[in-house]
Amino acid sequence: MHENTLILIEVGALLLGMSLLGRLALRIGISPIPLYLIAGLAFGNGGLLALEASTEFFKIGADIGVILLLALLGLEYTASELFTNLKHSRMAGLLDAALNALPGAIFALLLGWGPAAAVALAGITWVSSSGVIAKVLRDLGRLANRETPVILAILVIEDLAMAFYLPVLSALVIGVSLLQGAVTVAIAVAAVTVILFVALRHGHVVSRIFTPDHAEPLLLGVLGLTMLVAGLSAQVNVSAAVGAFLVGIALSGRVAHNASQVLTPLRDLFAAVFFVFFGLVTDATKLPAVILPALILAVVTMATKVLTGYLAAKRAGIAEPGRWRAGLALTPRGEFSIVIAGLAVSAGIEPQLAPLATAYVLITVIVGPFLARIPDSTWFKVATRARAAAAPRSLGEA
């Protein structure tokens, strides 16, 4: 069979299967993300039936999916709102790093992996998955919630921090000179600064490039600009997701509103591809050996991430239900964790780091969307109200 024909058959069959899984998820009232991941595992390395011809298609589609998820999140906010949230969330960012990076570093040292692996595992446990969380927030209808800007501020701080962390990690694991590492970090900082400056001061000029009244040129233009900036960001060691998010921030008015409408179907398609691809590239046969340490690490760092979101939302003056929604929504790790693990393993740091990171990410990505739904459950709402009603009486009695 011709390779192109095989690609069409594999992609078509998997997309059709994903449609049925999405319908099943709607029927039972859960996010489809875990089902997409399981589908990828079933047809990836070590799965029931490996799909090899279409892997490259899903790889490219996965990259586009993350870019579109973050770009459309950016379209929901203005540059001034972003900077206000970042300013108010500085302490939350520091708390996030302390609570979630340290457990990973300590865990690696306890396993006897050494300082380089400790720095890598610290990054794996630190950064939440922007792609997964963006989809969860959309699926649960929380984009307009009061706690969502707090969540996004933490995600943006993490992604911006990766502009500094990844070059440092690369220098550490590859063994380049201090000067080379400093130059790489300086380039990344300059790139982030330029993107932020354009988004804040000249966003209205960027919006004038596009016409909001014609769907086709608007779709092509905004998608082209988003991918261009994302690619250039990645080229200078800045997260492509950060570049895409800031393009969305830079656009405003009717251009932003109409662009969101025309890009939404593309986002839905490629976001689903992203989660399937994550499962496809995971070797299921290597997971059982590391499942227990990965589970322990996941439990600890999901708890610290919940605490991070809860305290950040509390500092922003958000009521208790919103604090829990913020904390529980932040638990999934994803794309950056896999990138960090791949970088470390390719440099020969620790072979067991890759399967551990994969199992860890899978646990958090599968469990995370379920945890995010807990604040919407009846029993949780009743418990929260009861606790709020009891608080004044307790204070009065004291």
Vertex 171: Cα angle to 98 and 169 (nearest 5): 30
Mean pLDDT confidence for 313-321: 90
- Indicate whether 381 belongs to any domain: no
Least Cα distance to 68 among 226, 251, 231, 235 occurs for: 226
Residue 388, domain member (yes or no): no
Per-residue pLDDT, averaged over 369-397, amounts to 75
% of the chain beyond a pLDDT of 70 = 85
Find the mean pLDDT for residues 380-397: 67
Higher per-residue confidence, 290 vs 191: 290
- Euclidean distance between CA atoms 123 and 105, whole angstroms: 8
Distance separating alpha carbons of residues 67 and 110, to the nearest angstrom: 36
More confident residue, 130 or 373: 373
**pLDDT tens, position by position, 55-103:** 788 888 888 888 888 788 778 777 666 677 667 777 888 899 999 999 9
Q: Is residue 382 part of a domain?
A: no
Confidence of residue 298 (pLDDT cuts 50, 70, 90): very high
How many domains is the chain built from?
1
Instruction: Flag whether 380 is in a domain.
Output: no
Model confidence at 324: pLDDT above 50: yes
What six digits make up the tokens of 315?
A: 């500092």
Q: pLDDT tens digit string along 231-265? A: 887 777 666 777 787 788 788 788 888 998 999 89
Query: How far is the C-alpha of 352 from the C-alpha of 336, rounded, in Å?
Result: 18
At 394 the pLDDT is: 44
User: pLDDT category, 395, cuts 50, 70, 90?
Assistant: very low
- pLDDT number for residue 29: 65
* 96-144 pLDDT tens trace: 999 999 999 999 999 998 888 898 999 999 999 887 888 888 888 888 8
pLDDT at 1 (0 to 100): 62
Taking residues 21-34, report their average pLDDT: 78
- 68-82, 293-307, 380-394: which has the highest mean pLDDT? 293-307
For residue 276, give the nearest of 88, 10, 9, 3 by alpha carbon: 10
Three-state SS for the chain is: CCHHHHHHHHHHHHHHHHHHHHHHHHHHCCCCHHHHHHHHHHCCCCCCCCCCCCHHHHHHHHHHHHHHHHHHHHHCCCHHHHHHHHHHCHHHHHHHHHHHHHHHHHHHHHCCCCHHHHHHHHHHHHCCCHHHHHHHHHHCCCCCCCCHHHHHHHHHHHHHHHHHHHHHHHHHHHCCCHHHHHHHHHHHHHHHHHHHHHHHHCHHHHHCCCCCCCHHHHHHHHHHHHHHHHHHHHHCCCCHHHHHHHHHHHCCHHHHHHHHHHHHHHHHHHHHHHHHHHHHCCCHHHCHHHHHHHHHHHHHHHHHHHHHHHHHHHHCCCCHHHHHHHHHHCCCCCHHHHHHHHHHHHCCCCCCHHHHHHHHHHHHHHHHHHHHCHHHCHHHHHHHHHHHHHHHHHHHHC
The CA–CA distances, whole Å, from 7 to 10, 62, 172 equal 5, 16, 39
Whether residue 331 is predicted with pLDDT greater than 90 in this model: the reply is yes
Domain that holds residue 90: 3-375
pLDDT reported for residue 156: 80
- Mean residue pLDDT of the chain comes to 82
Task: Tell me whether residue 304 is in a domain.
Answer: yes
Asked if the structure places residue 390 within a domain, the reply is: no
Q: Please state the pTM of the whole predicted model.
A: 0.72
Using the predicted structure, report yes or no on whether residue 296 has a pLDDT greater than 60: yes
Residue 303: inside a domain: yes
Residue 211 has pLDDT above 90, yes or no: no
174-187, pLDDT tens digit by residue?
A: 655 556 667 766 77
In whole angstroms, give the CA distance from residue 274 to residue 297: 24
d(CA 166, CA 106): 19
- Range from 42-51, 184-193, 278-287, 306-315 that averages highest in pLDDT: 306-315
Q: Which two tokens stand for residue 333?
A: 């790790």
| Residue 391 located in a structural domain | no
Task: Say which CATH number the domain at 338 has.
Answer: 1.20.1530.20
Flag whether pLDDT at 163 surpasses 60.
yes
> Tell me, what's the pLDDT at 397?
44
Residue 3 backbone zone (phi > 0: left; psi -120 to 50: alpha; other: beta): alpha
Whether pLDDT at 159 is above 90? no
